[in-house]
Structure 1
Amino acid sequence: MNNKIIYFTNRLKEKLWFRPFIFCIFSIIAALLAQFADNTFLKELVPKISDDSLVGLLNTISASMLVIAIFAVASMVSAFSAASSNATPRSFKLVVTDDVSQNALSIFIGAFIFSIVATVALKNGFYGEAGIFILFVLTILLFGVVIITFLRWVDRISRLGRLSNTIQQVEKAALNSLSKNISNPLMGGTPQESSILYNGEACYSNSTGYVHTINIEILQKLAEKEQMHIDLSCVPGSFISFNTPVAFSNTTSGYIKEQIAEAIVIANERSFDDDPRFGIITLSEIASRALSPGINDPGTAIHIIGSMNRLFCAYNKMPSDGPIIKYDRVSVPALKISDLFTDAFRPIARDGAGNVEVMTRLQKCLAIIAAIDHPEFKKEARHQSIQAFKRSEIAMGFQPDIEELRKITLFLSDS
């Protein structure tokens, strides 16, 4: 149930309307709650505030906030479009969930709703002297919050959608997902051998798409109830179809198979939350786009290689006590280090094979990663280094460039 709530909450946060809606509700409540001050001791202590001055202030807020909110939406849409076209469409979700921009839009719309509700209530005699004073204080505070938010948002919107900012957001999302994976690599399930042969009855998906999340707690309760074991054959980020087995169990019941399939949430697009490979794939897509002949921006690819370097070094330093087994009746495939390296470096090596600056930076990055005291990192870094050099040998026609690259690559070879 907790996993379902977290998943549902994360999906709501991705909706642009969610925070403005919450702020609107709080604005209406705040405007109406001021009236309760009329029934307290404050009515004999507070100074009298002119209705006209308060109405003028509320009218100013209502007139300006709607215009600013429309301007904010237009600016955000422009930033979203820039992020999708300059980086990759996969980065759209991260840009649209920018906290500063969403909070700014929410405050602007919330202030507009507050001023409208307060004005209507004030002109209809809803407030006494104490209520008017509290409303005046709330309006002044709201006015100050709006000014601070607007100044902060202007600074943010100037960078939102820029390529460097988008790369930073994707790198942060990838790091968070990798951190979540290293702290709980099997989602609390039991480990599987890499060469496991699934036995028993196959459970097939109800739809086609990417695995968003797996409600492993539900699978555990089902396995305990039916006295069985469930072997998952997919993880978040896996693409599955109607004829793709998502799990194997020793049950022949069609109803139980249906329950197993329903515990695996499928969506049309991948998510950054529980899919550590997706952030790395998105970064490599940005690099590949920058290396295309139409854009020809090797500097961005070099920037992405630096991001990959930081991610793998950070991944190695993350503390891990090994798998934490909470669900002993559900086995989960482990994340393959080889997949991470392939996602990160193969597209860059393929599309940048003819660029000596990009390939030099890539070889240096792989050399740094190979120096990490991690057997799998060493093995995969060596493999990617050799593969990248072979691609460059084919793509580069200038022999001195090839020889320069060879000097960097040779010490990583297995010879």
Structure 2
Amino acid sequence: MNGYWFLFRRFSRALWFLPALFCASAVLVVILAYLSANLFPEGLEESAIPITVSADALRNILGIVASSMLAVAVFALSTLVNLLTSAAQTGSPRAVPLFSGNRAARTTISVFIGAFLFSIIGIIGLSSGIYTLGGRLILFIATLFVVFAVVWALIRWVREISVVGRVVEMTSRLEDATRQALDRLGRDGLYGCSAGEGSPIGHEVAAGSVGFVQHFDPHALQDLAEDNGLVIHVRVRPGDYVDHAAIIAVVVGEADEAVLKAIRGDFIIGEERTFDSDPGFGFLVLADVARRALSPGVNDPSTANHVLTVQTRLLANWALKKKEEERKDPPYPRIRFMPVSPERLLDKAFRPISYEAASAAPDVQQALLRGLTSLARISPNAFAKAAATLAEDFMARAASEGSHQPDIAALRKVAADLTEGTERPRPSTSSG
């Protein structure tokens, strides 16, 4: 993903962006209605057109739209704020941007605010008498489109408020965001770069700021490397914490200060992690939802079981994809990257949940072991060893915190089956 496109996606997801865009469009439509009056003959009579609308009638229609849309827009915004607060309390505050940045919610509120502004400007224009008969006709047609848009937005808003705040909807959006990040990562974990190992010697590029790596632009880095005959070793991954002295890239070849500065500019470092290029963050937030569900104040083991199923499905589908490394030439051959390993993703997804699951109900404990067993069976080369290690660690926690021996014995049996399965040779169903 291009760095500018990454920034634009973040910018366009702001709650104010679409309302501002719709407001500008409303102003433009009203202005065009005034200017388009020149398309009609000067001596146009009412009998020459099929529909005529008086200034008073049009002013009344716009007055109704303006008064109702102001109330509806305020109500919609307050409802959205309440729903986002509820979502943060029942799920995870880190997942709230997936709701506030949702296009359906932003578009609906934008229509309400845009319709209000359109009506206000139209009333001002009618009151000042700047519209001719042709201008009023165009304004009336535009008003009809606005009314239809408002009706459509109201129906869409009813659907939106019926799902926002539900835990199942939150996990669904988290799953979609994490799946998209895994697609950008690629099955080989390289973001389209070449695999890099060891400690290269060259010009070191420091982060220059404190925060998290949100994104790097391999396409722009590849262009820089080709233009200057360089090989760029990326030393950080999206989601990594960096400070001023942290080395984010090592440049092999002759590079001046301007090139090094351009390379640093292709890394986006922000205050918090994002979902776009960081699948580990998606797994972490999903784990947060499960851990909150297992807290004594919530006590919702079914949600934890659901999250474990989602985590398993995401990792399994990713592991079964064909590796990009089988291609002869990666898209960015001059960019060397330390691949994100399947073991790292598995640890991000399951280990945080295992802390609370060790003292949770037996069905949650078995769901966690079931997910690890499924991943070890589906893609043994990628997950078997890491799954067995995590299951062993989890059993140690569960045994130390549990008191009912039959439950512990049942868990030991499941964990033993997983460990034995990793020791027996299995035919691989994955290329990784």
Structure 1 length-normalised TM: 0.92
CA contact (8 A) 1:287 1:301 kept: yes
Change (3 A) 1:184 1:95: farther
> Where do residues 392-411 of structure 1 align in structure 2 (5 Å cutoff)?
392-411=398-417
1:157 corresponds to which residue?
A: 161
Change (3 A) 1:242 1:34: same
What is the alpha-carbon distance in structure 2 between the residues aligned to residue 258 and residue 31 of structure 1? Answer: 46
How many Å apart are 1:387 and its aligned residue? 2.5
Residue type of the alignment partner of 1:55: R
How many Å apart are 1:335 and its aligned residue? 1.3
Secondary structure at 2:378 match in 1: coil
1:233 corresponds to which residue?
A: 235
How many Å apart are 1:152 and its aligned residue? 1.8
1:275 corresponds to which residue?
A: 278
Alignment match of 2:319 (pick from 305, 311, 316): 316
Change (3 A) 1:218 1:145: closer
1:366 corresponds to which residue?
A: 372
> Where do residues 98-113 of structure 1 align in structure 2 (5 Å cutoff)?
98-113=102-117
What is the alpha-carbon distance in structure 2 between the residues aligned to residue 140 and residue 181 of structure 1? Answer: 46
Secondary structure at 1:266 match in 2: strand
CA contact (8 A) 2:202 2:251 kept: yes
Whether 1:39 and 2:38 are equivalent positions in the alignment is yes
What is the alpha-carbon distance in structure 2 between the residues aligned to residue 185 and residue 87 of structure 1? Answer: 29
- Equivalences, count: 412
2:358 corresponds to which residue?
A: 353
CA contact (8 A) 2:319 2:382 kept: no
> Alpha-carbon deviations, 1:144-184, whole Å to 9, x = none?
22122112202211321222221211111111111222278
Moved more, 33-42 or 302-311: 33-42
Secondary structure at 1:273 match in 2: coil
CA contact (8 A) 2:186 2:192 kept: no
> Where do residues 70-85 of structure 1 align in structure 2 (5 Å cutoff)?
70-85=74-89
Identity, in percent, stands at 30
2:429 corresponds to which residue?
A: none
What is the alpha-carbon distance in structure 2 between the residues aligned to residue 221 and residue 373 of structure 1? Answer: 36
Alignment match of 2:297 (pick from 272, 294, 309): 294
Alignment match of 1:246 (pick from 221, 239, 248): 248
How many Å apart are 1:62 and its aligned residue? 0.6
Whether 1:180 and 2:184 are equivalent positions in the alignment is yes
Moved more, 117-126 or 269-278: 117-126
Whether 1:69 and 2:73 are equivalent positions in the alignment is yes
2:267 corresponds to which residue?
A: 264
What is the alpha-carbon distance in structure 2 between the residues aligned to residue 299 and residue 102 of structure 1? Answer: 31
> Where do residues 3-22 of structure 1 align in structure 2 (5 Å cutoff)?
3-22=2-21
How many Å apart are 1:32 and its aligned residue? 2.0
Whether 1:382 and 2:388 are equivalent positions in the alignment is yes
Residue type of the alignment partner of 1:242: H
Alignment match of 2:64 (pick from 36, 60, 64): 60
CA contact (8 A) 2:188 2:339 kept: no
CA contact (8 A) 2:320 2:379 kept: no
Residue type of the alignment partner of 2:69: M
How many Å apart are 1:321 and its aligned residue? 3.6
What is the alpha-carbon distance in structure 1 between the residues aligned to residue 35 and residue 207 of structure 2? Answer: 55
2:216 corresponds to which residue?
A: 214
What is the alpha-carbon distance in structure 1 between the residues aligned to residue 295 and residue 256 of structure 2? Answer: 52
CA RMSD after TM alignment: 2.2
Secondary structure at 2:2 match in 1: helix
Residue type of the alignment partner of 2:16: W
What is the alpha-carbon distance in structure 2 between the residues aligned to residue 184 and residue 35 of structure 1? Answer: 58
Change (3 A) 1:49 1:364: same
Gaps of 5+ in 1: none
Secondary structure at 2:273 match in 1: coil
Change (3 A) 1:157 1:228: same
Secondary structure at 2:186 match in 1: helix
> Alpha-carbon deviations, 1:218-277, whole Å to 9, x = none?
333333344332211002111111121111124585554443323211100011011111
Secondary structure at 2:212 match in 1: strand
